[in-house]
Structure 1
Amino acid sequence: MTGSPAALPAAGRASNHARARLRLAARLTAAGIGDDRVITAVTQVPRHLFVDEALATHAYDDAALPIGHGQTISQPYTVARMTEALLAPGCCSTVLEIGTGSGYQTAVLAALVRRVYSVERVAALWQRAEARLRGLRCRNVRLRYGDGALGWQEYAPFDGILITAAAHGVPRQLAAQLAPGGRMVLPLNDGDGQVLVRLTRTSAGFRHEVLEPVTFVPLLAGVA
């Protein structure tokens, strides 16, 4: 049979996705991701369900893809890097995600922690992510449509906070919702671009670690 991947029998598409996942796992390992739990979650969550059907053949490429409304689904390496930085070692039980987007990062977190709370400011993205995660039976996820910069005070404090958009500084309201010993991973704008930062709440305040350069859409206030 010839034609587009959508015309392939379901078994053929599943086989293609399985091979692509194996290749992606090898790329993540080669790129330095060392937590096998993270690699398994990133590669086994069906990323092709979180992108438009026209992009499904690229779902397991290590690349960001558009999801509409000026947003993207992050490249798998970035998802793995942020998740690994947040969770290792010994964290977390409850995680707040700011910027649900497609819901892919949410699903990865849900495979690794007890409870995920995720806030999305774009109504259409929130609705789509909710439907996808419900379809995957991610029962330990709670989604909210709202201003992510405000966090989710009702369920604070959180062991971990992961922000999927670049801020100009650490959002104070979010930092205040971090539990003692908890971590926040987020991209920050600096003078030359963006860097991925891990913030750890200690008895003396907050410890900052700069991890690596990244590129993210900006963190915006309000809803759309």
Structure 2
Amino acid sequence: MSESKPLILLIEDDEQTRRFLKSSLSHKGWRIIESDNGKNGLAMIKSDNPDLVILDLGLPDMDGISVTKRLRQLSAIPVLVLSARSEEQNKIMALDAGADDYLTKPFGTGELHARLQALLRRINRMLPASEIFETGQLTVDLAQRKVFIAHNEVRITPIEFRLLGILIRQAGLVVTHRQMLQEVWGAEHINDQHYLRIYMGQLRHKLEANPARPRYLLTEVGVGYRLALNEDSLGGAQ
């Protein structure tokens, strides 16, 4: 980052939304630059080198999915997508195209700030094989492939560990069904969501005090899963 305060590029065509976001985020210590269309936003990624991008899917000149794909050819910068509830399929497509997380309108400034902080932590973060991951009472030794709840070892299967590992790499962020299925079972199984339901259900029974109200393995309805971090207050359905 060029300065102490992170720089956010906001690509949003609605002027009222831009004013609201700029005011809210500036008070949280972020620096903001703006674009009201996708073409100019892509140019600003090259010229201004922002730390994060907030991208609205409904732009006047090009759709957000196309922007995401072209952005990914330019940079690995974290991208938070804004979407309306009626755009769920587009939201999933944007995540599969390379976006890192999403918020559904309307949203609160506290939730937005928490999601941006999770993305900021991910910048240049790679989990070495020896790292110990911890959140709440959940501890995962990535080198030894061991999982503990409140210091008690929990036995999980290799497939369950691979699913948990994917969520740990993206901790605090959403991972789509398609991404998880492709990484664990291969591209030929990207539509087999029942695989995920079965194995994630098994993981919850092993890791959650109450599997029906999960603390760690949160569902993003219709989209995928999210591994909650200690500071997360972002709920997920079963």
TM-score (norm 1): 0.31
- Structure with more contact order per residue of length (Cα contacts < 8 Å, sep ≥ 6): 1
Higher-Rg structure is 2
Greater helix share, 1 or 2? Answer: 2
TM-score (norm 2): 0.30
Greater strand share, 1 or 2? Answer: 1
